[in-house]
Amino acid sequence: MLKRKFLTLGATLGLVSLLGAGSTAAAADVRLLNVSYDPTRELYTQYNELFAAKYKKDTGNILTLEQSHGGSGKQARSVIDGLNADVVTLALGWDITAIERAGLINPGWEKKLPNNASPYTSTIAFLVRKGNPKGIKDWKDLWKPGVQVITANPKTSGGARWVYLALWGALANAKTHDFSTAQGQAEATAASAAAKDFPVYQNAEVQAQIADLFNNHVPVLDAGARGSTVSFAQKQLGDVLLNWENELWLARDEFGPEKFDIVYPSTSILTEPPVAVVDKVVDQRGTRAVAEAYLKGLYSPEAQDLAGQLHYRPRNLDALKKYSAELPNIPFFTIDETFGGWVKAQTTFFADGGTFDQIYKPAK
């Protein structure tokens, strides 16, 4: 938390000094600020090096890339409040929609880049203690007596919103696709485009089950996805952690593979963290071309391979295949086909008075 604040502060200070120096800097030197969410720190540190080197080779100019990380909602808020981000790479579409509604990003951003403008994906899986003592293999096992589930608060954590959607979709037997083949991906895209009504929202049984889970199996609710990892791995609370797949790998690497096992449920959600150029900022600063190239570069074979290395699922099928031992293929359902996209999911589930709030409403 503190480190996060510190980094945001650092990025802000960096930006301030940039504004001060802007008029005197050589015209050829360009700076870009990428405002991102928590777990992507390593990914963008490495990608920035890759992209800056390529930029220097192509143009001969120096590109300085700055990055800022924090909770996705909080980062979106900073951009709305005036942090001059050239690009945003956030955890969920809703946060970019919020920036769009503030008038900083033009509508239609999700169509400007391939794959719903999310160059890499991830999913929600389980982290359990070594040897899986409680025998947690699939979603239904979370309701076993005595099992304690660690997840973050969906009101404040982007990752936890994906967890909530994964739970809901899996319980409602959402239609899944095989994302390891081009044909499966095409089917999923077609199904999303064709989806009209979304019966999962009317599933009262699922809602009751989820309320039961949060009321009786969730002992703590951290504000952020990273906080829930700390609760599970460092504070040793609970029997199973529900979180981003890449975050689970990070926890396993950080705290030692001898302590934890990653468990993949039979189906899960394809989480699609989107990226977008902040139109108003790049037009003001004259950085549109390089900002667009920066995001486009995320789809390049090198960047896709890098994503795979750091436990994100590459969109590129060759890269995905290369890392299939660590990122096993399971059937995925999508937010667009199952829930009709972020705006609908956000207003039904997570807005004030939504289904999540009802879980904790005291009985009158």
Residues at the site binding another protein, with contacts judged by CB under 8 A: 1-2, 71, 73-74, 76-77, 80, 98, 153, 155-156, 218-223, 227, 234-237, 350-352, 357, 359-362
Q: Which is closer to another protein, CB of 90 or CB of 113?
A: 90
Of residues 103, 85, 1, 2, the one with CA closest to residue 36: 85
Q: Which is closer to another protein, CB of 118 or CB of 153?
A: 153
Q: How far is the CB of 41 from another protein (least distance, A)?
A: 19
Task: Measure the CA–CA gap between 355 and 115, rounded to whole angstroms.
Answer: 29
Q: Which is closer to another protein, CB of 326 or CB of 357?
A: 357
Q: How far is the CB of 119 from another protein (least distance, A)?
A: 25
Q: Which is closer to another protein, CB of 196 or CB of 361?
A: 361
Q: Which is closer to another protein, CB of 53 or CB of 351?
A: 351
Q: How far is the CB of 73 from another protein (least distance, A)?
A: 4
Angle at 340 between CA 334 and CA 341, to 5 degrees: 75
Q: Which is closer to another protein, CB of 15 or CB of 102?
A: 102
Query: Phi and psi dihedrals of 333, rounded to 5?
Result: -105, 160
Q: How far is the CB of 213 from another protein (least distance, A)?
A: 13
Task: Measure the CA–CA gap between 253 and 277, rounded to whole angstroms.
Answer: 32
Element (H, E) at 39: none
Tokens representing 256 are 């030692």
Q: Which is closer to another protein, CB of 2 or CB of 193?
A: 2
Task: Measure the CA–CA gap between 268 and 333, rounded to whole angstroms.
Answer: 6
H runs (alpha helix) in the chain: 2-21, 41-59, 72-80, 93-101, 114-117, 158-171, 182-194, 204-216, 225-233, 245-255, 279-285, 288-296, 301-309, 317-322, 335-339, 342-345, 355-360
Task: Measure the CA–CA gap between 198 and 336, rounded to whole angstroms.
Answer: 10
Task: Measure the CA–CA gap between 159 and 225, rounded to whole angstroms.
Answer: 6
Task: Measure the CA–CA gap between 78 and 15, rounded to whole angstroms.
Answer: 13
Residue 57: HSE in the Cβ half-sphere, 13 Å Cα cutoff = 6
Q: How far is the CB of 224 from another protein (least distance, A)?
A: 9
Residue type, 14: G
124 burial type by CB count under 10 A (0-12 exposed, 13-18 middle, 19+ buried): buried
Give the three-class secondary structure for 89.
Answer: strand
Q: How far is the CB of 190 from another protein (least distance, A)?
A: 33
Q: Which is closer to another protein, CB of 111 or CB of 361?
A: 361
Q: How far is the CB of 158 from another protein (least distance, A)?
A: 9
Q: How far is the CB of 218 from another protein (least distance, A)?
A: 8
Tokens representing 171 are 């319980």
Q: How far is the CB of 143 from another protein (least distance, A)?
A: 18
Residue type, 229: T
Q: Which is closer to another protein, CB of 224 or CB of 340?
A: 224
Residue 133: HSE in the Cβ half-sphere, 13 Å Cα cutoff = 9
Q: How far is the CB of 79 from another protein (least distance, A)?
A: 11
Q: Which is closer to another protein, CB of 52 or CB of 80?
A: 80
Residue 38: HSE in the Cβ half-sphere, 13 Å Cα cutoff = 26
